[in-house]
Amino acid sequence: MSKIHVTTRINGDEAEFLCDAEETLLDVLRDHLNLTGAKEGCASGDCGACSVTLNGRLVCSCLVLGAEADGAEIATIEGMASGEKLHVLQQKFLDHAALQCGICTPGILIAAKSLLEKNPDPSETEVRYWLAGNLCRCTGYDKIINAVIDAAAEMRKV
Amino acid sequence: MALDEYQKRDFKIIGTRQPRPDGIDKVTGRALYGADITAPGMLYAAMLRAPHAHANIKSIDTSRAEAMSEVKAVVTAADFVQGLGDDTQDVIDACIARDKVLYDGHGVVAIAATSRAAARRALKLIQVEYEVLPHAVEIDDALAAGAPVIQAGRRGNKVPKGYNDNCTNWCEFGHGDLDAGFAKADKIISRSFRTAATHQGYIEPHACLASMGPDGQGDLWCCTQGQYFVRTLCAEIIGMEESRLRVTSSEIGGGFGGKTTVFIEPIALMLSKKAGRPVKMTMSRDEVFKATGPTVSSVTDVRIGMTRDGRITAGEAFLRYQGGAFPCLTIFPGAQSAFAVYDLSAVRTRAVNVMTNRPRQAAYRAPGAPMAIYAVESVVDELCQEFGLDPLEVRLLNAASKGTKSSYGPTFDDIGLLATLKAAKAHPHYTAPLGPNQGRGLSCGFWFNFGGNTSVSLNVNFDGTIGVTEGNPDIGGSRVSISMMAAEELGVPYDKVRTIVADTNSLGHNDVTDGSRVTFAVGLATIKAARAAIGEMCRRAARVWDIDEDAVIWEDGHAKPAGPNAGSHQPMSLAEIARQSPNTGGPISGHHEVNAEGAGVSFGVHLCDLEVDPETGFTTILRYTVFQDAGRAIHPDFVEGQMQGGAAQGIGWALNEEYIYGKDGRLQNAGFLDYRIPVASDLPKIDTVILEIPNPGHPYGVRGVGETSIVPPLAAISNAVSRTIGVRMQELPMSPPKILAAIKSAGN
C-alpha cells in the first residue's frame, strides 16, 4: 500500500511524515512523530483527550486524517509552554489542583486555550459549555473551571 | 503507645497545599501513560472478540491469518495452562474464552503483527464457528427456573435451596430480633429497588507493552492500580516465577477500581513469548466497555420500621447482584454496608450473587455499597415523608457513633458520622429556599477503607535531600501526600523530598491501590520509615559527639543532645548528618514493611438540590454539597478532589449511566456517545466540607477518602427527584423517560 507524503508545521516546527490513507492525525502524532501528549480515549470524537488545533481551530485529532495535516499549522500540548515558562493555563491548573490522573489534562488545556483566544472573559457557564466536549472522570470539573476562569483573569491583566 | 496510634500534634506541612511532583509532566504532555511508550522491534496486538452473549466455540481456524507475513504470533485459550486456582483461572477465562463464549465481546483469538493495520486485517481472516446458546443478561432472567446455566459447577455451597445453578455466592449479616423490632414500629415500608450496571469510565483505555525473552525473563509496562498484583496474576497464568517478571506501572489515566485486575496483560505476554518480540496491546473504547469490569447491577428489597418520632426499630434487606459470567464477592460489602450508617437493635441483610452473560465485574469505588445504601436511604426518606419528619434530624437520631455495634458485626471506634450530619444541618445549603419543580434530597454514605501489605523505602541523600520509594500507582495526588508526610516527620521542608513509584523488582510487595488505602497505609509506612531513618541519624550524631545514642533526640529536623550526660553540642541538621554520613557508617536510609491494620471507617453526607422539567422529565442538578470525614486531610486539594469526583460519578449513575443490552444479549451502548458520563455543562459547582475526626489507627489520624463519596449521590438524587415529583423513584438511572413515566403514573 503506498504511503502519503505530508509536510506540515507542528508547534512552529516543520514536520514531514509518511502515513497510510486511513491513519488519523492522532495516530500520526503518537506513532510517527512521538508526540504522545494527545491521548486516545475513544477514537470517536466523544472525549476530547486528543484535542489539538489545526490552523487555529480546535479539533479532535482522532477525527482528522493525517493526510489533512498537509500544509497546515498544528498546535499540540507539547508546544504550549515556552521553554521553562509554563503557559498561564498550565500554571493555574497546577495551582488549583485541576487534575488528578491527568489523562484528560492535555486536551482540556488545548481546548481552554482555544476558548480564551476567542473569549478572554468567559462566564462560568460559557467555560462549562466550551469544555463539554472534554471528558474528565476524576475531578467533577469544579477545579478545572476555577483554573480556567482564574487563568482568564490573569491573562486579561497582561 | 504504639507508633501507629494517633497522637495529637501541631502540623507544619500536613494540611497545606503543596505542588505535586508529577504536575509539570502532566500539564506539558510529558507524563507517560500506558499507551505512550514503544520498544525496538515492537509488534501490535489485536483481539478478535465474540459477537454473541453465549455460545459454544465449535472451531477456530487461524490458518489464513497465520499465513500473512506480517503476523508473528497467534494466541488462543489453548496456549494457556488450565487448572489454576479458581480466582486466577477466572481472570484468564474472562480475558479469553476457553470453550464457551460467556459475554458479548469475550476475547477469542489474539494476534500480534508488525503494524496495527496488519493486525486488523489478520483478524478478518480468522474463522470461528459458534453454536449460539440461550443467554441471560438480567438478574431476574438468570435467577428464573429453567434459566440457561452460564457456567456449570459454580453453584455456591452456601446458597440455600430454591436457587438455581447460576447462584454462586450467598451471605448474611445482622443481629437482634427482627420480629420484635418491626412490632415496635408505627409504620413499616417495603420497597424494591433496581440499579443498572455502570462503568468506571476512566478516560485511559487499558494499555500495556509486554516483552518476554527466550531466557524466561519478562518485562511488562502497563496502566494498573497494582503492579504487584499484575505480576502475581500474570506469573501464575504464564507459568513463571514472580522474580522473573518485572512489572512497571505507567502513569495511570484513571482506574476507580477498574484497573485492579488484568484484561490484556497476560495475552500480551503470551503473544510476546511466542513471537520473541515486544508486543504493545491497547484496548479501544468499545473493548473497554464490552470486555473490562463494569459494576454489578442490582435488585434490592428493603423493609424498614420506624416509630412516629423517627426511631428506626428494625431494618431488613435482600440483595440480588449480578457480576457477570463468574462468581463475584461484591455482595459481601454490599450486604455489610447497607445499614452501616445506623445504630440498630434489629437488622438483617441477606445477599445472593447470580451469574449472567455479562463481563466479569471489577471493583468500582466502594464496590457494592452505593446500590445497597441507595435502597436503604430511599426507604428511610419515604418514612420521614410519611411522618412529616426532617430527614437530617432522623439521621441524627439513628446515626451510628462510637460504641455502636455495626450492622455487619464490629463495634465502631471514633467515627465521624454525627459530626458530618451536624455540619450538614448547620450549612446554609440545608435551609436555602427552593423554587417550583425543585427539590432537595440527602443521603448518608459509608465505606470501610482498607490497609494491607505495604513497603516503603526512604533514603537520605548525601546532600540532605530525601528520596521516598513507594509501590502504589498515584491516581490522584498520593506522591505529594506521601512526600508531605515524610517531610513532616523528618522536620525538613517539603521541597527536599521526592517520592517515586517503584516497579515490582525495586521494592517489597505492595497491595493494589484500592480500598482507599494508599494515603493511610503507605503514609503509615512512610512515617515509620522516616522514624527508622531518624533513629539512625541520632546514632550517627551520637557517634560524632561521642555520647550515648539514647542521649540524642530529634527535633525540627535536627539531632540534639538531651539529658544530663549529653554535654553541650550544637544541634546537627539532617543535611549535616547526611553530608558526614560517608564517614560515620555509610548511607542512611529507613524502610518499613507492614500488613497495615487500623484503617478507619469513613462516613459522608451529601445534599442535593435539583429541578425536574415536568414536560420532559429532564433533571438539572442545581446545587450540591459534600460533607465527609477525612480523619486528617493531608493535602486538602486532593481530598476535595476525591469528594467532588465521587459525587460527579454518583450523579452520572443516578441520572444517566447504564449498560443497555438488546434482546440478543449484546451491549448496545459501548461508547462515550451512548454511555454518556457527566460533562462540565451537566454539573453545578460541587461544594465540599471536610471534617477531621482522627482515625485512632493512624499516627496522623488519616482515614481513606477515595470511595465514600460515590455512595450517597444515588439516594440523595433519587430522594430529591421523588420529593420534587411526588412519586417514590425505585430504579436507576432516572433517565428522563423514566421520570416522565413516573409523573404520568401519578397523574400529576
Domain edge (last residue) among A79, A101, A134: A79
Q: Do domains B43-133+205-252+259-291 and B297-449+600-745 have the same CATH topology?
A: no
What are the DSSP calls for B730-744, one per residue?
-EES--HHHHHHHHH
Angstroms from A24 CA to nearest CA on chain B: 12
User: What pLDDT, on a 0 to 100 scale, did the predictor assign at position B501?
Assistant: 98
Answer yes or no: is pLDDT of B1 > 50. Answer: no
In this predicted model, what pLDDT tens digit does every residue of B679-697 receive, in sequence order?
999 999 999 999 999 999 9
The percentage of residues in chain B with a pLDDT greater than 90, rounded to a whole number, is: 97
pLDDT-based confidence at residue B659 (cuts at 50, 70, 90):
very high
The CATH number of whichever domain residue A15 belongs to comes to 3.10.20.30
Q: Distance (Å) from the C-alpha of residue A71 to the closest C-alpha of chain B?
A: 24
Q: What is the share, in percent, of chain B residues with pLDDT greater than 70?
A: 99
Q: Are residues A70 and A110 in the same domain?
A: no
For range B273-297, the mean pLDDT: 98
Q: Considering Cα of B223, then B227, then B233, then B235, what sign does the dihedral take?
A: positive
- Average pLDDT of span B43-60: 98
- The single residue listed with the C-alpha cell 557508617 is B585
Q: Is B622 on the interface with A (CB under 8 A)?
A: no
Tell me the residue range of the domain where A33 lies.
4-79
CA B675 to chain centre: 20
Q: Are residues A94 and A151 in the same domain?
A: yes
What is the average per-residue pLDDT within A118-131? 98
Nearest to A140 among B35, B204, B648 (CB): B648
Residue of B nearest to A104 (CA): B203
Q: How confident is the model at residue B566 (pLDDT cuts 50, 70, 90)?
A: confident
Chain A neighbours among B 465-524 (CB < 8 Å)? 475-477
Indicate whether A66 and A104 sit together in one domain.
Answer: no
- Chain B residues near residue A20 by CB distance under 8 angstroms: 117
Instruction: Tell me which of A62, A79, A96 is where a domain ends.
Output: A79
User: Is residue A23 domain-shared with residue A73, that is, in the same domain?
Assistant: yes
Same domain membership, residue A97 and residue A69: no
When the candidates are 3.60.15.10, 3.40.50.300, 3.30.70.120, 3.90.1170.50, the CATH number that belongs to B43-133+205-252+259-291 is 3.90.1170.50
The per-residue pLDDT for range B121-165, each reduced to its tens digit, is 999 999 999 999 999 999 999 999 999 999 999 999 999 999 999
The domain ranges of chain B are: 23-31+451-594, 43-133+205-252+259-291, 297-449+600-745
Which of B23, B253, B644 lies nearest to residue A103, judging by beta carbons?
Answer: B253
Quick: pLDDT tens for B304-337. Answer: 999 999 999 999 999 999 999 999 999 999 999 9
SS3 B206: coil
* Partner-chain residue, chosen from B26, B284, B648, that has the shortest CB–CB distance to A105: B26
**Nearest CA distance, B198 vs chain A (angstrom):** 13
pLDDT at B746: 84
Q: Is A143's pLDDT higher than 50?
A: yes
Same domain, A56 and A119: no
pLDDT tens digits, A74-111: 999 999 999 999 999 999 999 999 999 999 999 999 99
Cα B420 to Cα A62, B197, B339, B602, B628, distances in angstroms: 45, 29, 17, 10, 6
Is residue A70 less than 8 Å (CB to CB) from chain B? no
Same-domain check for residues A72 and A108: no
Model pLDDT for residues B425-472, shown as the tens digit of each residue? 999 999 999 999 999 999 999 999 999 999 999 999 999 999 999 999
Average pLDDT score over chain B = 97
User: Hey, what amino acid is at B478?
Assistant: S
Q: What is the pLDDT of residue A1?
A: 63
The CATH number that applies at residue A98 is 1.10.150.120
Average pLDDT in the A36-44 region?
98
- Looking at this protein, which amino acid is placed at residue B89? Q
> B297-449+600-745 sits in which CATH class?
alpha beta
pLDDT of B47 above 90:
yes
Q: Does A77 touch chain B (CB under 8 A)?
A: yes
What CA–CA distance (Å, rounded) separates A99 from A112? Answer: 14
**Partner-chain contact A44 B673, CB within 8 Å:** yes
Percent of chain A whose predicted confidence (pLDDT) is above 70: 99
Supply the pLDDT for residue B747.
Answer: 77
pLDDT band at residue B476 under the 50/70/90 scheme: confident
Residue B3 has pLDDT above 60, yes or no: no
> How many residues make up chain B in this entry?
748
Question: Smallest CA–CA separation between B638 and chain A, in Å?
Answer: 7
Please tell me if residue B204 touches chain A, with a CB cutoff of 8 Å: yes
Residue at which a domain ends, from A44, A79, A114: A79
Distance from CA of A75 to the nearest CA of B (A): 12
Q: Say if residue A27 is in the same domain as residue A68.
A: yes
Cβ-Cβ contacts under 8 Å, B224 against chain A: none
Give me the architecture of the B23-31+451-594 domain, per CATH.
Answer: 2-Layer Sandwich (3.30)
Q: Which residues of A touch B679 (CB under 8 A)?
A: 131-135, 141
Q: Over the range A1-23, which residues count as b (16 or more CB within 10 Å of their CB) and which as e?
A: eeeeebebebeeeebebebbeeb
Residues A134 and A95 in one domain: yes
Count of structural domains within chain A:
2
Do A59 and A100 fall into the same domain? no
**Which residue from A minimizes the CA distance to B39?**
A31
**Interface predicted TM-score (ipTM):** 0.98
Please give the average per-residue pLDDT across B276-286, as a whole number: 98
